[in-house]
Structure 1
Amino acid sequence: MEKSKSKVLIVGGTGYIGKRIVKACLEEGHETYVLLRPEIGMDIDKLQILLKFKEEGAHLVEGSFSDHRSLVAAVKLVDVVICPMSGAHLRSHNILMQLKLVDAIKEAGNVKRFIPSEFGIDPSTMENALEPGRVTFDEKMIVRKAIEEAQIPHTYISANCFAAYFAANLSQMGTLLPPKDNVVIYGDGNVKVVFVDEDDVAKYTVKTIDDPRTLNKTVYLRPSENILTQNELVDKWEKLVGKKLNKINISSTDFLASLKGLEFNEQVAVGHFYHIFYEGCLTNFEIGEGGEEASQLYPDVNYTRMNDFLKRYL
């Protein structure tokens, strides 16, 4: 007899990754709940997304981070909680939202898996990250500590580089489109980077929730054919368009010098680019006992290769 699938609550279901996770949950046959926050106010776009989810079979459950009882009540409806809030919600006072959710899960006492808002670089490997960008990793580790001290069963997802933000633009900063003539190459362009289609991030995430192999572990999304250097990524695009781009190499020293005079959020972004494209922070370590690699666990997921992903931009 097939094991029944978990009931899942998604907090942040209208967000960039959240809406994809809702879709993946429904496609996998999970009874899916999406938190409807009163703070949505007059945001008609988010409301329409939520109503669409409802039409597709999701349940909308009201709850607010300013109302602890409502969060506990929502959590008690399900077995699994996924919180794919955007990185912006892990800054300054907004980190409290995740910690309030942890408190609600702890009090409810019924959750068998919690997947918090990470979905990027593994923060446990970034203790020596540059300021001010390290704030992103430090705050995620605060949430991890709270989860583990509360003894909440969990899975952390390290999704590495979202393809729409890092691959489509050939890893150029300040644009989401491929360059037409000139492309900036970080260092020699030979550092290995991991690019993952955002829909695949959602598919792999949902696969983990009923899998005992991923309990209390970090799941790294490293699909083998998407581990590419920047040079290899650029080469794929050049072959697609039938044109060579002018490469402009920038040294690590010059790249770091560009931090001066930038706004805080820009400094954070530049710092992250440095760690990814100069230090190779996504691939310069082996996955240990506390981790698993998603494409090996779930070979049935036909993930999007970057050559196919780039074709969208022709």
Structure 2
Amino acid sequence: MAESKVLIVGGTGYIGRRIVKACLAQGHETYIVQRPELGLQIEKLQMLLSFKKQGAHLVQASFSDHQSLVDAVKQVDVVISAVSGVHFRSHSILLQLKLVEAIKEAGNVKRFLPSEFGLDPARMGHALEPGRVTFDDKMTVRKAIEEASIPYTYISANLFAGYFAGSLSQMGSFVPPRDKVHLFGDGNLKAVFMDEEDVATYTIKAIDDPRTLNKTLYLRPPENILSQGELIGIWEKLIGKELDKTYISAQDFLTTLKGMDYKLQVGIGHFYHIFYEGCLTDFEIGEKGEEASKLYPEVNYTRMDEYLRIYV
């Protein structure tokens, strides 16, 4: 069976660029939306041109031009959206409703992967304000997909290592501390840390897999299920030094959160559910989900001791 043709929306973004690379590497004919405004963003434009050199097709389309989206979608079998859902950058989740309309009209797409790649929004109905807006918006997109009877796969990638592992999950830095470190609660609740390249690899593996059709693919490889304390322990071993530890109670965390700018509250509020509730690992994957490392044991995913070595 021929590999699916894939359209990637948001192909110059943080996870989108990695999805493009994985799509090309796995032999798919790859199309990337080139929005008109990127002509004035030289780094993104040059990234698109570099993907073109590697064999990708650039497709002119815009969220403000419905027909251009329909025309783009008609060229492919699979659509992957990687638009930003991070409030301190730009929050574009609901723009995908326009993409859903285009896919519905085109009528040819056999799989749509909306932009999620984090916590499973279906499990976050209890989330704190204002951070819950992220999950509510993603569920709005899911509802539109399912009401339009568009075949889908949702990717729950948990924690991007660049944000959460490299920093030892500290707020306000993306590099690991070498003297003092803050732990949330007792630091013992388990989370899941994923190398972004592996997120992209598993995502592309899933697009033609009947086992992931109309399901959520959870990226939960067993050796990357770690507590914050265990992650810090890996770093301490790598640098040969024990860090001075401060433990932040849930009440102190929430008090600090309330004093932050709105955009920071949205993103950092998710820390509460991850590290004080253990929301990434406190459930079993049911019949509507699959676990990526079980489906694709051939993927040699990056363990966090290997990931953190680059920071030493």
Residue number in structure 1 paired with 2:282: 284
Aligned to 1:146, which of 141, 144, 147?
A: 144
Aligned to 2:164, which of 160, 163, 166?
A: 166
Whole-Å separation in 2 of the counterparts to 1:47 and 1:92: 18
Aligned to 1:245, which of 243, 247, 267?
A: 243
Identity, % of aligned positions: 71
Whole-Å separation in 1 of the counterparts to 2:190 and 2:174: 21
- TM-score scaled to structure 1, two decimals? 0.97
Whole-Å separation in 1 of the counterparts to 2:59 and 2:88: 23
Aligned to 1:254, which of 228, 252, 259?
A: 252
Asked if the contact 2:131–2:269 (Cα under 8 Å) also holds between the matched residues in 1, the reply is yes
2:272 pairs with 1:266: no
Residue number in structure 1 paired with 2:33: 35
Whole-Å separation in 2 of the counterparts to 1:50 and 1:293: 32
Whole-Å separation in 2 of the counterparts to 1:268 and 1:83: 21
Whole-Å separation in 2 of the counterparts to 1:154 and 1:294: 16
Equivalent residues in 2 for 1:8-19 (5 A)? 8-19=6-17
Whole-Å separation in 2 of the counterparts to 1:91 and 1:102: 23
Aligned to 1:228, which of 218, 221, 226?
A: 226
Q: Provide the aligned C-alpha RMSD in A.
A: 1.4
Whole-Å separation in 2 of the counterparts to 1:176 and 1:100: 34
> Could you say what secondary structure the match of 1:131 adopts?
coil
1:186-230 C-alpha deviation (Å, 9 max, x unpaired): 111100000000000000000000000000000000010000011
Q: 1:269 offset after TM fit, Å? A: 2.2
Q: 1:45 offset after TM fit, Å? A: 0.3
Residue number in structure 2 paired with 1:204: 202
Change (3 A) 1:306 1:280: same
Residue number in structure 2 paired with 1:310: 308
Q: 1:127 offset after TM fit, Å? A: 0.3
Q: 1:91 offset after TM fit, Å? A: 9.9
1:117-170 C-alpha deviation (Å, 9 max, x unpaired): 000000000000000000000000000000000000000000000001000111
- TM-score scaled to structure 2, two decimals? 0.98
Q: Name stretches of at least 5 consecutive residues in structure 2 with no aligned partner.
A: none
Residue number in structure 1 paired with 2:108: 110
> Could you say what secondary structure the match of 1:258 adopts?
helix
Q: 1:92 offset after TM fit, Å? A: 9.5
> Could you say what secondary structure the match of 1:248 adopts?
strand
Asked if the contact 2:88–2:263 (Cα under 8 Å) also holds between the matched residues in 1, the reply is no
> Could you say what secondary structure the match of 1:302 adopts?
coil
1:69-120 C-alpha deviation (Å, 9 max, x unpaired): 1100000000000001121379998444200000000000000000000000
Change (3 A) 1:90 1:216: farther
Residue number in structure 1 paired with 2:211: 213
Whole-Å separation in 2 of the counterparts to 1:271 and 1:298: 32
Asked if the contact 1:184–1:250 (Cα under 8 Å) also holds between the matched residues in 2, the reply is yes
1:214-250 C-alpha deviation (Å, 9 max, x unpaired): 0000000001000001111000000000000001011
Asked if the contact 1:118–1:157 (Cα under 8 Å) also holds between the matched residues in 2, the reply is yes
Asked if the contact 2:188–2:228 (Cα under 8 Å) also holds between the matched residues in 1, the reply is yes
Asked if the contact 1:91–1:139 (Cα under 8 Å) also holds between the matched residues in 2, the reply is no
Deviating 4+ runs (over 3 angstroms):
88-96
Asked if the contact 2:6–2:76 (Cα under 8 Å) also holds between the matched residues in 1, the reply is yes
Whole-Å separation in 1 of the counterparts to 2:150 and 2:190: 34
2:177 pairs with 1:179: yes
